[in-house]
Structure 1
Amino acid sequence: MLDRLARSDDPDLRASALDALRIDARFRIARAESASRTGGRTTAPVTFARIGGAPNRTIYDQEHGSSQTLGRVVRAEGQPETDDIAATEAYEGLGRTYEYYWSTFQRDSIDGQGRTLHGCVHQGENYPNAFWDGRAMFFGDGDGQMLTRTTAGVDVIGHELTHGVTQYEANLVYSGQSGALNESVSDVFGIQVKQRALGQDVTTSDWLIGADIVGPALQPALRSMKDPGQANPHDDQPATMDDYVPGGDVHTNSGIPNRAFYVLATTLGGNAWDAAGPIWYAALRDARLTPTATFQEFARLTLRNALMIYGQTSSEADAVRGSWEAVQVPL
């Protein structure tokens, strides 16, 4: 999407997109380097070195710098909130994400071992993005056109921290179909963090990613898991393999597995974390999932895990089959 906005006729929008692309290139390199050092499967999803169940968060102020040093500490775990709304939102969003993973999977932080969650607010000057660089989350304040304050989206925070979970599990390579899966997995769990925080089930959720942080150029949201390609005027996501974009950006083709999860969750009903989320999580943690996995390989693992968890004749397994059929990924 940034590539398309960088070709906009609006000079301000074009300049903002180009600035974001330059910063994004740096953080993608940093994340790849971090993944190569620390990537791989956790030996256990639950911490044994501590009791677990409570996050350890530290929030830093980047003071509009563009370096990837953490910055000045403005709030540590248990300290009262400050008058900085971005710091408060980051602290609460990190906590909501931790609570989702602990309550649903008894996973103690992104590494399963109680790792401290670092959040860095006020990244860059009017930077329209948020990212996980392999060790911390960085939040921009937005340019007012593409994005507003990125800490306002709890689904965005859940999305970015899930990149950390993926790094510690399958460590999916950030290109091609494995890269699109990497992005999709972050959307899948980011939307569940949002749904849980707002008390929504699969019928009351809007299934929109980034609805709380988009500016006028990207209204009403960054992505739609229900209707990929329809989130905003610049949305180019395909919804099925018929429209798969060879060589496309990872954020583009992620619409296909996103819709598969939406179909699964809404077919099963209730809360997305009742059955659909655990099936996706089991596939992510499956030792057979390789870093270069294709959509089909991931789809087959979701079915295998559904069969193992719920049984050969279960409605859950049937729903998994139907979800991938809906997006034309063969099992």
Structure 2
Amino acid sequence: MVRNRVQCIIPPYVLEAIEANGTPEQRARAAATLRIDAVVRADRAEAPTAPPQPAADVTAHRRIYDAGNTTNLPGTLVRDEGDPDSADVCVNEVYDGFGTTLDLYGQVYSRNSVDDAGLDLIGTVHYATDFNNAMWDGEQAIFGDGDGSIFNRFTIAIDVIGHELTHAVTQYTAGLAYRNQSGALNESISDVFGSLVKQYHASPRQTADEADWLIGAGLWAPRIHGAALRSMKAPGTAYEDPLVGKDPQPATMDGYVTTRQDNGGVHLNSGIPNHAFYLAAVSFGGYAWEKAGRVWYDALTDPSLSSNAGFLEFAQLTVQKAEALFGADGRQRIHDAWAQVSITT
């Protein structure tokens, strides 16, 4: 089945708020970003995903391109695997972010690149002009420069880079449909592993208690009142500003949003499984990628997980994985985490 495989870090409702509340220039930039998002979706919608071919001896190479503020993809190759640092900070941030994401998946979960078959990673920086988004388009990651007044450059946050590459992992595993609850799970899983990439990258590495559990910290320009795009620890509290609105994410099913917007609320309702993961991670303690992350990874890659899975199906599978991995204690911790967001497994 062909699915829309373009996923963006900035929800459409944020850009729509800027269109409503911003200056003429800010409104124009937001509208341009929404138009470009739609064009990329249309271009990629019919591109089929080739099934990964096992090739354990193949090593993924990173290739970073510069679009030169055009929408031509991938652009001009500016840094290949093994090349020295570039004079361009965006190029280096993506190259290093790709490397850390590969390390997390490879060293912790024994996964060989996003497809588990050594797929090369392609990233494009300086996409379009003042482009306020980052995305995975089904074939590569794309990063805008931001407009400088509302958003900083989209390569500034390593969890955003990990987030986009995790969309590729989901594409090559469960293939979660990008709508309604399965789409919210898709977004949440990218937030989960994007956060784990950030914690794994930190020096020293961060435990669950030490992590900030913020997604996209540093993306808001100084004038915007907000800590990040989303908070896994406290969904709904990441930002509140007259220009971009208030973070609308619910933390539990009591606040679940039924809507036709945002592909059925994929960026909104992802706060619910996000919060469940946070609760599970702090319950286990230690490094979140070791126990809670392992449970989530094993659930995502289980062939029984359907592409249209809802929250309950995924939650039940995580409980099963936790018991298999960590016994009755692990099962109870995962069960309790989901119960606290009003999902009873």
TM-score (norm 2): 0.89
Q: Percent same amino acid among aligned pairs?
A: 46
What CA deviation, in whole Å up to 9, does each residue of 1:194-244 have, x standing for no partner?
001011111111100000222233621000000101000121101111111
The answer on 1:329 being equivalent to 2:343 is yes
Equivalent residue in structure 2 for 1:116, among 109, 116, 120: 120
The answer on 1:320 being equivalent to 2:334 is yes
Equivalent residue in structure 2 for 1:18, among 31, 39, 58: 31
Asked if the contact 1:58–1:76 (Cα under 8 Å) also holds between the matched residues in 2, the reply is yes
Distance in 1 of aligned mates of 2:340 and 2:278: 10
Cα 1:267/1:139, change in 2 over 3 Å: same
Cα 1:161/1:220, change in 2 over 3 Å: same
- RMSD of aligned alpha carbons: 1.6
Match of 2:49 in 1: 38
Q: State the AA in 2 paired with 1:38.
A: T
Unmatched tracts of structure 1, length 5 or more: none
Pairing of 1:199-210 with structure 2 (within 5 A): 199-210=205-216
Match of 2:104 in 1: 100
Alpha-carbon deviation of 1:59?
0.6
Distance in 2 of aligned mates of 1:12 and 1:242: 38
Asked if the contact 1:27–1:131 (Cα under 8 Å) also holds between the matched residues in 2, the reply is no
Alpha-carbon deviation of 1:267?
0.7
Cα 1:83/1:124, change in 2 over 3 Å: same
Equivalent residue in structure 2 for 1:304, among 304, 313, 320: 320
Number of residues paired by the alignment?
320
Alpha-carbon deviation of 1:307?
1.5
Match of 2:228 in 1: 221
The answer on 1:230 being equivalent to 2:256 is no
Alpha-carbon deviation of 1:142?
0.5
Q: SS state of the match for residue 118, structure 1?
A: strand
TM-score (norm 1): 0.92
Distance in 1 of aligned mates of 2:199 and 2:308: 30
Distance in 2 of aligned mates of 1:266 and 1:43: 36
Pairing of 1:128-207 with structure 2 (within 5 A): 128-198=132-202, 199-207=205-213
Q: State the AA in 1 paired with 2:338.
A: W
Q: State the AA in 2 paired with 1:22.
A: R
Q: State the AA in 1 paired with 2:308.
A: T
Match of 2:276 in 1: 260
Distance in 2 of aligned mates of 1:250 and 1:304: 25
Cα 1:119/1:13, change in 2 over 3 Å: same
The answer on 1:27 being equivalent to 2:40 is yes
Q: Which has the higher helix share?
A: 1
Asked if the contact 1:31–1:132 (Cα under 8 Å) also holds between the matched residues in 2, the reply is no
